[in-house]
Amino acid sequence: MYSFSGLSADTQYTLQVRAKNSQTTSAGVSVTERTLPEPPAPPAGLQASLADPNSVAVEWDPADRADSYEIQGSAGSEQPGSQAVPISSLGGWIDVGNVNSYVVSGLSPNTHYIFEVRAINPSGRSAAAAIDFQIEADQQAGQPVADLGQGGGGSQAGGSGSALSGDGAESILTATLSPPQFNCTDEQKAMIAISPQPMGLNVQCVGPVGVGDRDLIARGVVLGVDVWGWVRGFFEVCFKQAGDLAFLDAAYATRQLKYVIPYNRDGMICNQIDRAGALVLLRSKTPTEAAADCRVTTTDPLNFRASPGGQYLLTLPALTTLNVHDRRGDWLLVDYRGRQGWVSAIYTVEDCG
């Protein structure tokens, strides 16, 4: 066995081995492998806000090279000598998937909390970013607080936060959320159900032109719900018509398309929104659009995910052949060792003979 060092991260290499003796040298045998990516960068831009009297929504910006995120929290008095204890609803670090917010529940009033978030990928974990939050007994849910800390950490207290001014005096920052602003026709409103009401946000119903994504327009846009503003925690959007769902993530300069797996509630198809963007209802696929009876072979090591663009589960080896059960854009639902998950079709070769 021989170990190569000094290689570049996330790079495909072809390695050759041949045998020799004093008389001759054999033909070479080659193998192609890709090195793991670099560990992810730490999350930045941590924010915290009260979701309800016993829950705090923690949000962060997407980290470079992150496949998933972990969060942990601790609670304790700010008195000298006190010892923080893990939040029971978390119980240490937990993987929350490839998301940029998480609601921590089961918290108590008059308690100081510290929340930490770190990014992960197959190469390891980033350093943790932390933020402080104080739940007061009389604070109201949904009141936003500016991030008063530096480098992703800050001291915050429900509907109001405090910081020291230049002369050392304490200044108080307060904010009040307005009701959501809806720009939908009566006909469009009759097609959707939103709960709870997304306070402080703007919500607009859009058609194909407003969606603007050519791939989605080609699939057949029925209706899009476009949300902008700072989303605190999450809210649910349901459509009263059957179809497929996709999300255009506004966290990117060019909105990133993600196909999502809806769930059913009261005869509607629903999904939760935890960031700015557009949730789009698409016409249902016809049987000819499905990818049944196809097989694909991976060309590179490939992430195996719980949903299209969703939580990272494991890495599939290169040259793995898989049965395909469904397709959503560039995402394929496949079987791997008795487990179903999603892979990107970009790094596969299809055989649908």
Specify the pTM: 0.40
The first and second tokens of residue 138, run together, are 């009389």
Express each pLDDT in 46-60 by its tens digit: 988 887 778 888 999
Query: What phi, psi does 119 have (nearest 5°)?
Result: -100, 150
Vertex 218, ends 215 and 219: CA angle to 5°? 90
Let me know if domain 287-351 sits in CATH 2.30.30.40.
yes
What pLDDT score was predicted for residue 275?
84
What pLDDT score was predicted for residue 175?
37
Q: Which CATH class is domain 44-174?
A: mainly beta
What pLDDT score was predicted for residue 239?
93
What pLDDT score was predicted for residue 291?
52
Peptide bond just before 196 cis, omega within 30 deg: yes
Express each pLDDT in 209-227 by its tens digit: 889 888 888 888 999 999 8
Q: HSE of 339 in the Cβ direction (CA atoms, 13 Å)?
A: 12
Residues 98 and 65: their CA atoms lie apart, in Å, by 11
pLDDT band at 87 (very low <50, low <70, confident <90, very high): confident
Express each pLDDT in 189-210 by its tens digit: 899 998 876 666 788 899 998 8
Do the Cβ atoms of 115 and 55 come closer than 8 Å? no
What is the overall mean pLDDT for the chain? 78
Express each pLDDT in 261-281 by its tens digit: 788 888 888 988 888 899 999
Express each pLDDT in 140-196 by its tens digit: 544 444 333 333 333 333 433 333 333 444 333 333 445 667 788 888 989 999 887
User: Per-residue pLDDT averaged across 235-258, rounded?
Assistant: 87
Residues 276 and 256: their CA atoms lie apart, in Å, by 12
What pLDDT score was predicted for residue 353?
55
Show me where the domains of the chain are located: 44-174, 181-282, 287-351
Q: Highest mean pLDDT: which of 74-83, 123-132, 164-173? A: 123-132
How far lies 137's CA from each of 73, 91, 146, 246, 298, in Å?
A: 20, 24, 20, 40, 55
Q: Say what percent of the chain tops pLDDT 90.
A: 16
What pLDDT score was predicted for residue 321?
92
Question: What H or E segment, with its residue span, contains residue 210?
Answer: helix 208-211
What pLDDT score was predicted for residue 261?
78
Q: Which amino acid is at 352?
A: C
